[in-house]
């Protein structure tokens, strides 16, 4: 019979740990506390232009016309970009390729970008954006989840598994209905999640540099450079091997910089058209549109509101024929998240 191995003593275990319980220096601490760390907004290249984006002031509308003539003729303006210049859609998921770098025929929220200007400085770009005239045909706003699904509100997108339902998914594990029927107590809950926006100290920023040899470099305060790389290749119709995306140090992100964003694609195209480096900072415009956070929280995707309902069935300890030997209670949960967009059902033990 093989000898029984005894667990190592605490002192022996601690002696083998080189990381747990020790204080290790942060490799980037000195650079950050001395201000030497270069974030995306700190970068500078010769002959650099500056980009500002004109954003929608209405939450839901069709774009009737956009007149950019006065902006194009404004002194110091080098290029003006519209949605028709970047018609290829993109998205972070294969099932949601429904974003455009600039809106083509419709805006869907306050802050949706409709045009972009590259100029010799930020002030000139701001002023040129003021000269762009956009005519909207307002549509009813979709502000309530239940109303959005009943068919009376206008469709946000022209596709989906149902009216205003992007994707309907049902996942079931075990016989949930049978378990709920046998439960001693069934609790039905209707919940509401307001949604939230990320608010890191560092604003979103990017710098694009397109070279004459048809190679593009993008520096961005991104948490997912591979997603950005794929979106750039798709929308700009460039070979991925000719695109380099550099994720600069993040001054906070919390998941809020984990999508490919329209401003990253816009500066890349402006750099390609002008042959000069183009940066962008997502900060609010002083006149046309005023979001309330340093991140310009209205113009970038956030965690959306949700109305989940949950049915929870519980068995009292020892009251069920299949109760565990430890006599712990068992629960069965059927949860529907996103107001019908996702259904998840499973006995939880």
Geometric angle at alpha carbon 23, from 17 and 26, rounded to 5°: 120
Residue spans of the chain under pLDDT 50: 284-298, 320-349
For residue 155, being part of any structural domain is answered with yes
pTM over 0.75: yes
Q: What is the DSSP letter of 240?
A: G
Token pair for residue 175? Answer: 């016989």
State how far the Cα of 258 lies from the Cα of 225, in Å rounded to an integer: 8
Domain count, the chain: 1
Q: What is the DSSP letter of 142?
A: -
Token pair for residue 200? Answer: 């890191």
State how far the Cα of 35 lies from the Cα of 29, in Å rounded to an integer: 10
Token pair for residue 40? Answer: 């995306």
State how far the Cα of 227 lies from the Cα of 5, in Å rounded to an integer: 49
Of the chain, the percentage scoring pLDDT greater than 70 comes to 81
Q: CA nearest 60: which of 5, 119, 22, 109?
A: 109
- What pLDDT does 167 receive? 84
For residue 40, being part of any structural domain is answered with no
For residue 156, being part of any structural domain is answered with yes
Q: Where are the beta strands (DSSP E) in 5-55?
A: 50-55
State how far the Cα of 174 lies from the Cα of 344, in Å rounded to an integer: 11
For residue 343, being part of any structural domain is answered with yes
- DSSP secondary structure letters along 240-297: GGGEEEEEPPPS--TTTT-S--HHHHHHHHHHHHHSS-EEEE----SSS---SSTT-T
For residue 150, being part of any structural domain is answered with yes
For residue 340, being part of any structural domain is answered with yes
User: 326 lies in which domain range?
Assistant: 145-195+304-348
Phi/psi for 123 (5° steps) reads -60, -45
For residue 137, being part of any structural domain is answered with no
- What pLDDT does 60 receive? 95
- What pLDDT does 225 receive? 97
């Amino acid at each position: 019979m093989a000898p029984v191995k005894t667990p190592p003593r605490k002192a022996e275990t601690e002696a083998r740990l080189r990381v747990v319980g020790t204080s290790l220096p942060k490799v980037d601490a000195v650079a950050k506390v001395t201000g030497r760390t270069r974030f995306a907004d700190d970068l500078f290249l010769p002959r650099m232009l500056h980009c500002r984006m004109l954003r929608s002031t209405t939450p839901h509308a069709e774009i009737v016309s956009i007149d950019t003539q006065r902006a194009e003729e404004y002194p110091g303006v080098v290029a003006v970009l519209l949605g028709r210049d970047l018609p290829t859609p993109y998205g972070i998921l294969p099932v949601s390729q429904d974003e455009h770098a600039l809106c083509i025929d419709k805006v869907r929220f306050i802050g949706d970008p409709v045009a972009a200007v590259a100029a010799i400085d930020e002030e000139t770009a701001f002023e040129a954006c003021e000269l762009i005239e956009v005519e909207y045909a307002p549509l009813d706003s979709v502000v309530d989840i239940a109303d959005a699904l009943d068919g009376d509100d206008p469709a946000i997108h022209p596709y989906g598994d149902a009216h205003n339902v992007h994707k309907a998914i049902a996942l079931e594990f075990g016989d949930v209905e049978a378990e709920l029927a046998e439960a001693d107590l069934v609790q039905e809950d209707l919940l509401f999640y307001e949604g939230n926006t990320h608010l890191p100290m560092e604003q979103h920023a990017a710098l694009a540099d397109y070279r004459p040899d048809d190679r593009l470099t993008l520096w961005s305060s991104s948490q997912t450079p591979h997603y950005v790389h794929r979106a750039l290749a798709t929308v700009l119709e460039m070979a991925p091997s000719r695109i380099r995306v550099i994720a600069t140090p993040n001054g906070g992100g919390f998941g809020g910089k984990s999508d490919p964003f329209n401003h990253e694609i816009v500066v890349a195209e402006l750099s390609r058209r002008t042959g000069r480096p183009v940066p962008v900072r997502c900060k609010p415009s002083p006149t046309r549109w005023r979001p309330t956070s340093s991140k310009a929280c209205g113009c970038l995707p956030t965690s959306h509101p949700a109305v989940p309902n949950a049915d929870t069935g519980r068995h009292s300890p020892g009251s069920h024929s299949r109760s565990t030997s430890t006599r712990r209670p068992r629960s069965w949960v059927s949860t529907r998240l996103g107001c019908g967009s996702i259904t998840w059902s499973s006995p939880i033990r």
